[in-house]
Structure 1
Amino acid sequence: MTPYVLVVEDEDALATLLDYNLMKEGFRVERAADGEEALLRVAEEPPDLVVLDWMLPKVSGVEVCRQLRAGAETRRTPVLMLTARGEEGDKVRGLDTGADDYVVKPFSMSELVARIRALLRRTRPELVEERLEYADLVLDRGRHRVTRAGKDVHLGPTEYRLLDFLMQRPGRVFSRERLLDAVWGANTYVEVRTVDVHVGRLRKALRQPGAPDLIRTVRSAGYALDTEG
């Protein structure tokens, strides 16, 4: 699954530069031009990481960070702060607010990308690892290959993305709406029942004689990757 990075930056030229470079490095990027818009975007779809400018219109970066740390869905979301403030006291204040890392402008784009990857490796390793494993199931992102008990599993593109997402958090139940947002995209308008169709295809592709069904259906709640299915 492509890591989702929210860039909160009011300088349009820098935001465009960040957008271009992060997308080139394989991240899915959304932008917010002020703190208020950032909080709205986070409420719509919690990102995997936030690149957050210190000085923002409407709601400051420090306040955005505080609110992220106070939210149940976002308290563990990694936050990397960007700022022109280089004094030690400002850095300490940013980190005390809850930021995980702190980069002073101007900065090297390669350093920023490296820091983002390091944060994700620490907080969401499943997003950057090349290989995911659960029970006898293996998804190899580098080779775009899925095997179960050593046998190849042939999946369509949507089923592959769906499995990638479920394997990131085995055992957790995801609603159909959450799966739609994560696999199809928050701005894609498709029927909720589309999820049922693709889960059915995924379940069929993973099925092996004598082996447990790895997809668990939870009535009125959604689906999970779970050997208890």
Structure 2
Amino acid sequence: MKQNKYDETGFFTSYSQMARSTGGLDAAGEWGTFRSMLPDLRDKKVLDLGCGFGWHCRFAREQGASSAVGIDLSENMLERARIMTDDPNIEYRRLAIEDIDFNEGEFDVVISSLALHYVEDFDLICRKIHHCLVPGGSFVMSVEHPIYTALAQQAWFYGPQGEKLHWPVDHYHQEGLRRTIFLDHEVVKYHRTVASIINSLIQAGFVVKEISELKPTEEMLKRNPDWQEETRRPMFFLASVERY
């Protein structure tokens, strides 16, 4: 199932008003951790899966990457990315992540930010990413944490006074499709366990370099007190792996 909610006018309008859409990478709470997991991008060929507005592609070039290719299924996303980009060494292509078919060793670095939980066949994507990376190449990804995706409701359990009592986790080992609400619209996500994510990467031929469940830092809490609730349960899962 290839989902393209971002070409639905109402959904795209709501997404465009989010802080990470207007403020860029620095407005994305997980960016500091994601950035720290990236390899040196100087002179590297970079592929961004689910590039959205192109923030990561432009960052890669700012860090000295020789080129960046961003793919996304949404024409709305790509149109905005092209408007915001003035760089002949950045290319945007309309393509589903599931349909990537690049040459072996075509890229030095592959990144994907908060896109792969929308993809059903993670095993296949891991193999395709491994194929298109050079030996020693890096893949850095972030997804919604499996504790966050286990239940389709993706919501706190509230007490009688409206207080957030706990984050419910159920059906954790029942992997697969979840129909949930995001920006007041129904979207399809795919839940998989932490073990499944890591094992898929290993079985595809990657060496795991670093894992993060993104515990908010004191600096993050000072900048945005709303991050306090993220100390109670992980919202993001990040991994940095290397092809061997």
Normalising to structure 1: TM-score of the pair? 0.30
Bigger Rg over Cα: 1
Normalising to structure 2: TM-score of the pair? 0.28
Point out the structure with the larger strand share. Answer: 2
Point out the structure with the larger helix share. Answer: 1
Q: Indicate the structure whose relative CO is greater, using CA pairs within 8 Å and at least 6 residues apart.
A: 2
